[in-house]
Amino acid sequence: MAVYIVHHKDEAPSLLKYMFNIREPNKQIGLAWRTYDVQFRLRQEVSPAPWALINTDLWWRCSLSRDNVPSSSETVRGRTGNSYPCIDFNKGSCAWPVCRFAHVCSRCGAYHQPHHASAEIHWPHQEARPFFFPVQGTGLALTEGPVMANPVKQDPCNFDLSSIAPTPVNFTSLSRAFAAYENRVDADIILDGFANGFKLHYSGPRLPRDSDNLKSAEYLSVIVKQKNDKKKI
């Protein structure tokens, strides 16, 4: 952080807010903060964003990850103040009734032993890169998920998103989270969207639509022309 501030002095307040954003939720969502921290930093290299603002989409995905929710037995025997992984637990068994080390996988940080990691982690080198993968034929990285060498071609009118890549959203956890939500109309739209895909509810033709110029550009047309002429030089 000190090295970064030397070159970006104005970012100091934003970085302090980012530290608060990362440290405070650790009390509620466990190791999700670690996944969010790694992925947010990696995304900063691809598409810089304000440090002080939380990436709500990424935060939501990390919070719903099943690996961030310990079972009742793991809660009792889990962390009691130390976040380092328990060596004995990772070897196979921990004899301490109340262990002061975290009963988490030393490879991925999830609540299982290392020999389960390869079976549960489907995205190789997940922490070495963001969750982006390129959209076919565009050269852009807009969708989140693992890279598929040969994406399945389907009828766009009957498109199954799960055939392209598994969603990182845990639909069961999402349903429980919306169980007591007061606005049932919006809740049903969101749940149906994640289950069957979000629809635009428009079946008409695709028509071009040109927006009018801003009023300032109309009133100050001379200045606008001067700036456009400079760009052409």
Sequence-distant (6+) residues with CB within 8 A of 151 are 136, 164
Q: Would residue 227 count as lying in a domain? A: yes
pLDDT at 53 over 60: yes
Query: Are 140 and 192 found together in one domain?
Result: no
Number of domains making up the chain: 2
Domain boundary among 112, 147, 182: 147
In the predicted model, what is the mean pLDDT of the chain?
Answer: 67
Domain boundary among 86, 113, 147: 147
Here the tokens at position 189 are: 């739209």
Query: Are 217 and 133 found together in one domain?
Result: no
Query: Are 9 and 99 found together in one domain?
Result: yes
Q: Would residue 163 count as lying in a domain? A: no
More confident residue, 204 or 90: 90
Give me the pLDDT at residue 136, please: 42
Query: Are 175 and 220 found together in one domain?
Result: yes
Sequence-distant (6+) residues with CB within 8 A of 67 are 31, 108, 109, 110, 111, 112, 120
Q: State the first-to-last Cα distance of the chain, in angstroms, to the nearest integer.
A: 41
Q: Which domain holds residue 174?
A: 170-233
Query: Are 95 and 134 found together in one domain?
Result: yes
Query: Are 199 and 143 found together in one domain?
Result: no
**pTM to 2 decimals?**
0.32
Query: Are 141 and 211 found together in one domain?
Result: no
Percent of the chain with pLDDT over 90: 0
Q: Is 62 exposed, middle or buried (0-12, 13-18, 19+ CB in 10 A)?
A: buried
Query: Are 104 and 174 found together in one domain?
Result: no
Give me the pLDDT at residue 2, please: 74
Q: Would residue 108 count as lying in a domain? A: yes
The per-residue pLDDT for range 165-222, each reduced to its tens digit, is 556 677 778 888 888 888 888 888 888 887 777 777 666 676 666 666 667 777 778 8
Q: Mean pLDDT throughout 133-137?
A: 41
Nearest 10 degrees: Cα torsion 100, 104, 107, 108: -130
Give me the pLDDT at residue 47, please: 81
The per-residue pLDDT for range 3-34, each reduced to its tens digit, is 777 777 788 888 888 888 877 766 666 677 77
